[in-house]
Amino acid sequence: MMNQVDERIQIKLDRIEQSHRIEQDNSALLVVDMQHGFLDEGASLEVPRGREIIPNIVQLVAACRQQQIPVIFTEFVYATMVPCLRGDPFGPEHLPAEKGQPTGYGFASNNCLIGPGAGRGEESAATVEALAPRDDELVIQAHTYDKFYGTHLDLALRSQGIQRLMLTGVTTDVCVNSTLIAASMQNYRVTAVTDGMATIHDHIHDACLQIWQNKFARLANTSQLLSEINSA
């Protein structure tokens, strides 16, 4: 039996559920950082669970394309001409590898590096082929975790009349988290796709969902959103 506080929380969640439902004319799907450098086996910043969510995101992308709902991709990139903290000290893996020195987690490995010495293969900044953007779809390259900061993402969304966002990608606690909170702060109605995002540890993923649900986003799974998209 729910107490008064639980009842009030449920009333709030019900209101969020209704106000954040997907509408064809003002919604978009944002696919965050589904790149080789985070998904490929052997990548210095590999997120193994990220490969498990690809089929769900593929379904969402296909449904949005069918319903003419914009799909926007982001890619985290590092460049030596933008020597930000995301590389040193927080992400040494993004720094240019040095000949004869070890690579891998905790070491300079060219991960998602662009420009001279750009990461290749499992360290590439490119979106994985299973989710390859079409030529007419926007790809935002960002040097920070928040994909709004220093990019034209907000302008691109508002110029298309977008008010509602479905967020997917990796990692739940870093780039997805930063972007989701930024979107909420700019008054977008955000839906976090619970089985369309991943990070290294399940308990961190779950903690993010709990925090978002209270103040920042609606939570929904792929099946629920496919139903909404197809009936939008």
Assign residue 38 the CATH number of its domain: 3.40.50.850
Position 8 in a domain: no
SS3 166: strand
Predicted local distance difference test score (pLDDT) of residue 2: 66
183: exposed, middle or buried (Cβ count in 10 Å: 0-12, 13-18, 19+): buried
Taking 70 as the pLDDT cut, the residues of the chain under it are: 1-2
Position 199 in a domain: yes
Position 109 in a domain: no
Integer Cα distance of 15 and 25 in angstroms: 21
Position 89 in a domain: no
Position 115 in a domain: no
Sequence-separated contacts (24+) of 54-59 with Cβ below 8 Å: 54/128, 54/130, 54/131, 56/168, 56/193, 56/195, 56/196, 56/222, 57/31, 57/131, 57/168, 57/169, 57/193, 57/196, 58/130, 58/131, 59/222, 59/226
Position 74 in a domain: yes
Which residue has 């969402």 as its token pair?
60
Integer Cα distance of 200 and 74 in angstroms: 20
Position 174 in a domain: yes
Predicted local distance difference test score (pLDDT) of residue 179: 98
Position 190 in a domain: yes
Predicted local distance difference test score (pLDDT) of residue 4: 78
Q: Which domain holds residue 146?
A: 25-78+124-230
**Per-residue pLDDT tens for 179-228?**
999 999 999 999 999 999 999 999 999 999 999 998 999 999 999 999 99
Question: Count of domains in the chain?
Answer: 1
Predicted local distance difference test score (pLDDT) of residue 13: 82
pTM of the model: 0.95
Predicted local distance difference test score (pLDDT) of residue 216: 97
